[in-house]
Structure 1
Amino acid sequence: MYCYSCMNEIKDGNYCYKCMKENVPESSSHQLKAGTVLHGKYFVGNPIGEGGFGITYIGKDTVLGKRVAIKEFFPSGSANRNNDVSNNVEPNSSSKEAFFEKGKQNFLVEARSLAHYDNEPGIVDVIDFFEENNTVYIIMEYLDGINLNEFLKKNGVFSAETLFGLMLPIMKSLEKIHADGVVHRDITPDNIMYLYDGTLKLMDFGSARFITNESNDVSVILKEGYAPEEQYRKNGKQGPWTDVYGMCATMYKCITGQIPEGGLDRIREDKLKRPSELGINISQSLEKVLMYGMAVFHENRCQNMTELMDMTKRALNSEQITINKKDTVSDEINKTKMADEVYRTQVADEIYNNRSQDRYVSEDPMPQSNNGIMYEKSSNQKQIKKKAGLIVGIIVVVIAIVGVVVAFGVLGNNSNNKSIDDNPSTVVETTEEQTTVEETTEPQTEETTQEPETIVLVQVPDVEGMKSDDAIDEIERRNLKYNIKFEESDRIDLDYVISQSPVGGREVEEGEAVTIYISKTSLQPETEEPTTVHLIDNGSTMLYCRASDFATLRESPSRSSKSIVKILTGERVDKLGESGDFYYVRFGNDTGYVLKDFFSRDPNAPLNYDDGNPD
């Protein structure tokens, strides 16, 4: 038997003394049950992550006896499973079947490609891959650390110089992957691990794809703030520059602590502040490199990892960085502010209307730069300019026609003693007829192919224990809908959230509904300790806080109950009793409940880095 949380072998009982946890499954109904064995040798533990394309579990290679990470293809919003019935993953509707099958094949192809990059310092190693349970699994090395989002929560932001230096191995590895025509497309703080040896590794290539000229038959899953504008639209040209944006957006978050403005928002009005404007200590050279990698349009952006690495190394060596930007529109279009606004509005309208993407097509997977910048106008931009010119032409023709008609009407009035107002339809009909003729001069083509779906992921907020109005505001702020259900509760007061579904922290599609269960019970002040607490007859037992940061003393034995005070790592409490997963303790002059996982009789017990602490 192996511990579902750390894969340590448990010989007696049901408690792991390595990670100090009860060995209980923590999977939901749509996830594999802990204890499942895949491919005859991979023991599945508890889930350790879930994203747009799959679920990751901690696991054990029972043949080699080493820990692994097991990535399961499970596209959010397109697949489902009931693990009480079967381990099989099925598309959740007939309309998703083609996408699901295509996604499985892409997952396998990309696994084969990534398996060639053994021992790359900047990316996770792929050990094995196979099909089972009507889905695909990738077995990867287990990375002993925490992702950058968790690191930021526990330790705060990085210095700019430190972070750029740590990112260089990832840039180098991506340079090789891009050369083989693969783009990651989902570089975010969630997908980069900070290992306990002080290095970084990029993982989760579930949304990667080959740079090909195939048709647009894939759905796109994006994370707001880290996806450039070309990932949102049908004719958006993707390539190594797309990963450059994700890399620099991730560094922006790790340096400033703020998620960058979204790619869509920046098209209409770019309000992204430089780190120095936020009070961050960063050299001008590094800031230039960072902002160059986050240019809104890819023609203005750093084009590949080779260029980004070179500029980063020079900036870290205190060399001056000069960036010669080229305009994304032609001189003719950019002659007036109005014309430039027409161009930006056309692109923004296209993105909001299509909300889809195209594939990057190039004979050369690593386009050469011209003075540090690859500049090539896309056919989409040319079409936009032609349409802008056509609109201006139509307006000019209409104005001219109106002038002729008005003049004709005035002459007619002098000769026939008639007012134009006597027959207003003459002007209207003539104008409409001429406008119709002009508008139909451009052939209209009927769209025959179905545009791919774009899925934008947002993180569900944790609203358990919050006042209902505050919970609703937080849910709506994430562009999510909500359902309300009322329940009796003996632990949560009137109008507070008892629980929610999906749970906080899970990534779902933008616009999905979160169900919140609100207490309809008004609790009376308790006059005695809950009867569920088993008190110790012969006094108290001293316990030490072994949480990595702090643990929370709560009013009742529930994760969502109101907190009283924070207990820092190493501080002592007196154990008075216990109730389920909680100890009933005294801390100073306060009494309350703490999670058992974060306390030990041994003051030198290993720290618990688990995410179980709600705070």
Structure 2
Amino acid sequence: MLNPGTMLSGRYEIIEMVGSGGMSEVYKAKCHVLNRFVAIKVLKPEFSSDVNFVTKFRIEAQSAAGLSHPNIVNVYDVGEDNGVYYIVMELVEGITLKEYIQKHGRIEPKEAIDFAIQIAQGVQAAHEHHTIHRDIKPQNIILANNGTLKVTDFGIAKAASSSTTTTNAMGSVHYISPEQARGGFSDERSDIYSLGITLYEMLTGHVPFEGENNVAIALMHIQSEMVSPREYYPDIPTSLEKIIRKCTQKKPERRYLTANALIADLYRVKENPNIDCIVVPKQTVPSSPTIEMTKQEMEMIKTGRQVDAAATQEVPPARPKTSEIQVNRPVMKPSQFDDLFPDDDDPEDEVSENDIGDDYQNDDEPEHDEDLDPRLKKIITVASVAIAVVLAILALVVIGNIAGWFPGGLFGGKATTEKTTGSDVLAPTDALSTTEQETIPMVNVVGLYKTAAEEQMKKNGFTNYTFKEQTDATVEKGYVISQSVDDGTAITKDTAITIVISSGKEMTSVPNVVNYEDSQATTLLEEAGLKVTHGYAYDDNVEKDHVISSDPVAGTEVEEGSTVKIIISNGKEQKKVVVPNLEGMSEADAAEKLTELNLVGAPTYEYSDTVKEGQVISQDPVVNTEVDEQSTVSYVVSKGQEKVTYSVAFSGSLTNTEFDFDTFGKVNVSISYTIGRESYSVYSGSAGAGDFPLSIDGVQGLTGIETNSGTFTVTITDSEGIDVTSSFNTGGLSATFTQESGE
């Protein structure tokens, strides 16, 4: 595993691992030369150490780099850095088709056709460049976020299958073609077979064949018929089913010869699903990594026998219990003929590559001989001989009883005679009447759709089976939950068998939640076993955040787990109003205009040097803004120019400089302060020598003054009225202004 920050070839910086497969690990990386993000597939060490494999890998990867098509993941570069072999590819954001199928269960026919066309277009582009994929499967198809499907991993399968282990069959065994399973020659038609299996899985949610090990599945591809996809989902068009059958013919020459021919038929079915198209087909798997079969497994496939689990290192997956089998994922036994073949090395049973070539080339044999499986011929022959032997024994018993060869009767029974119209007819009491009835093994129908299960029962000869419906929270309606007789149990064909079919989940009644508050309604519905989704609408009669209605309506019987949508009230519908222009209006006019439009006014007041007192200065929201009715519109009303006032305080004193109080006596003092045209008395009265210096501190000042400047006027006269002001110092007086309001 490469650590984030690792640089490959001094160019590609590893950012993070995004996936891991059977042969490689995939990383998101940044190319510092072209400044773009890429995907880098790095070979695992066990493959990197194989020189022959690496050589083939580089050749095929370089060949894949020549492919350029919207439905193929582009290969940009192939390189090696200190034994690390890697391929640089286009980084596609999305998920694999396998993940998409698992997420949705199955894909609807219309969408599946579109997907198949895109895949086939990518495959055709590769075939035109003489590149065969050999491992087409949902895991190797990426569904990009924009809806485009891209096929990836071209060249790797061919490199692997061309390595020194030539008998290895590469690819996921669930999608492998019969010729690949045999280890024989494969060509473009092998990709078409795998694409047919992929289309089958898209439509049904599972692959047609599943067994206990790789060999069992591979043998099914070679000799078993597929269950029709329509038996699982009758909505699949017959024409689309025929396309799948033609893609998955056992013999390559009977399939579509080119992907273009397949694309043409897919387009015809897309335009007219009822069109009569083509012809042949049976079952789900987890994500399957690319696998290599061992030589022993390939030998088992060639000889038509199952793998001895104890002799191989691979441990087959445990089979699920009947109750654990999931819907749409029916499980088949590896082969209904396995137990009939001895585990020997009879050369006549081996299938060699030369034999396969002869199958393809010998066109002189009758058609029905080609269709009949050689092992089925052997079964028929063995069965014919067995029947003949049984008939001979029965005849011998009857003759022996008549001739008296068996005293006391065969197996201890006694021969008796009955008088019938004058002739004696021998009737053995035990030999034939007590012969055990023929038994057959019970088949597994769990997980099948009802019609498919019934068909399976008929095919196996069972005559006394009944269907019983039962609710089930996990099994989809119409599919088999369980069967009264276990798979493989030997029973007679008329044994009573009960097959339990799912009628879906338990039913429950939708409770009435109208007018309930949202959280209360949700709780009630969830307690009833239902899922809840929400919608919202205006309603003049239902309080905001309360339920207006439900879908389905109250009282409807639905399956538990069903979704109920409740519509929640947003209250009364708020109509939109365009905000008018209020600027310049009087306060009264602005208020009236807002009331007419069903808006709420919110005035505030400010001084303005430019806007007349009482008129609107500004508003919020601005003019022409669209708002809900009853919205608030704020606006500012002018108070006119702001008036500034001041207060003034007086301080200081008058001092005598040369006046002779002893000679002239007291003086009359008058101090006033003039502001503009107004004069204000600060001090007035007579004063003697002891009053000087004469202080005006503490004299009450003035308030409400509209200016902040003024002058003192001092007049001092003697007792005779003569002005003696000059004999005093008046410069010690001062006035201090303080602003009372305004700025």
TM-score by length of 1: 0.44
TM-score by length of 2: 0.37
Highest CA radius of gyration, 1 or 2? 2
